[in-house]
Amino acid sequence: MKVLILGGSGFVGSHLTRRLAREGHEVSVVTRYAPGCKHLWVIPQATIRQFDPFDSERLVEELRGHDVAINLVGILNERGFGGSGFRRVHVELVEKLIEACVEAGVPRLIQMSGLNAGRGESHYLRTRGEGEARVRSADREGRLAGTILRASTIFGSDDSFLNRFAGLLKISPVLPLARPQAKFAPVFIDDVVEAFVRVLADDETAGQTYELCGSEEWTLIGIVRWLRDQLELRRIVIGLPDFLGRLQGMVFDFVPGKPFSSDNYKSLKIDSLCQSDGFKALGIRPWGLAERATSWLRPVGKQARYQQFRRQARRERT
């Protein structure tokens, strides 16, 4: 199968590209900056396509001959304010991709979204919901078979979630957190990739939305304190009351790179937990954060590694 991936050079895309190549699929990775994809150049079944995905004519040209398009493009923060940056990426690009798929004769689109899309006050969630609506509309009209995957926070050894907090913990003796009791069900990157593979292999998943959560439920402060302990650091992690959390977001709105923002604060007001079990529907038994992340967060002895291998083997047999 020939697969074109927008956002294929990122965290999820890199893992997915490797897996699809191992499965024998031909993968085209769309990127604006090919040198940023050096880690994918060595994959025989992968081709790097450098162009602006907002260029509709080029997008149609590159899509021709492919069996499916996968859209992984998304942002957690915009450069400016007001939501126009989110709308451009989460809505306008999806619209262009749908039209390009129809013109190029690509029959399927798999759209990566986020939990709580369309809910709450944040521009991130609202525009994610609008993007999903475009995919569902095209599917209902019979123009394009669309499948949507919504994931809670995704973790892995090379993620931007645990690694960002790990970096902050290493340099700061005190770490204040906005919305400390916000809930998550962190999902392992390999489980997310497996969900994509199964959706790709089953045309009956068209028109469906799958919510993906790990097997453990955590609060934000619980995750960060657990991470601190795994890294064996002596740090104070404190939760901020809401008025200080909002203030933190407003201040960070003006910090280069926006490590946190007012929009992030608004997104955290809704727990990132699944309302339906997409993994179960796909026949996947997901891992939990504490089950997997310990294997790379700190060195473990021979006996501990043996116990980890035994637990993994038992899970794979069930």
Q: Which pLDDT tens digits describe the chain residue by residue (318 residues)?
A: 999 999 999 999 999 999 999 999 999 999 999 988 889 999 989 999 999 999 999 999 999 999 999 999 999 999 888 999 999 999 999 999 999 999 999 999 999 999 999 999 999 999 999 999 999 999 999 999 999 999 999 999 999 999 999 999 999 999 999 999 999 999 999 999 999 999 999 999 999 999 999 999 999 999 999 999 999 999 999 999 999 999 999 999 999 888 899 999 999 999 999 999 999 999 999 999 999 999 898 654 444 445 555 555 555 554
Asked if 23 contacts 1 with a C-beta cutoff of 8 angstroms, the reply is: no
Neighbouring C-alpha atoms within 13 Å toward the C-beta of 26:
8
How confident is the model at residue 301, as a pLDDT? 44
Distance CA 26, CA 19 (A): 11
Asked if 69 contacts 45 with a C-beta cutoff of 8 angstroms, the reply is: no
- The pLDDT tens digits for 117-172 are 999 999 999 999 999 999 999 999 999 999 999 999 999 999 999 999 999 999 99
Asked if 70 contacts 112 with a C-beta cutoff of 8 angstroms, the reply is: yes
Angle between helices 123-140 and 93-104 (to 10 degrees): 20
- Cα end-to-end span (Å), the chain: 29
How confident is the model at residue 317, as a pLDDT? 52
- The pLDDT tens digits for 68-103 are 999 999 999 998 889 999 999 999 999 999 999 999
Question: Residue 301: CB partners within 8 Å, gap ≥ 6?
Answer: none
How confident is the model at residue 305, as a pLDDT? 47
- Amino acid letter, residue 60: V
- Counting Cβ atoms within 10 Å, is residue 28 exposed (0-12), middle (13-18) or buried (19+)? buried
How confident is the model at residue 257, as a pLDDT? 85
- From the list 28, 112, 30, 21, the residue with the least C-alpha distance to 66 is 28
- Amino acid letter, residue 260: F
Asked if 149 contacts 112 with a C-beta cutoff of 8 angstroms, the reply is: yes
Give the chain's domains with CATH numbers. Answer: 2-155+187-212 (3.40.50.720)
How confident is the model at residue 310, as a pLDDT? 57
CA quadruple 194, 184, 162, 239: dihedral, nearest 10: 180
| Cα separation values, 149 from 110, 129, 205, Å | 8, 12, 11
Phi, psi of 234 (to 5 degrees): -100, 95
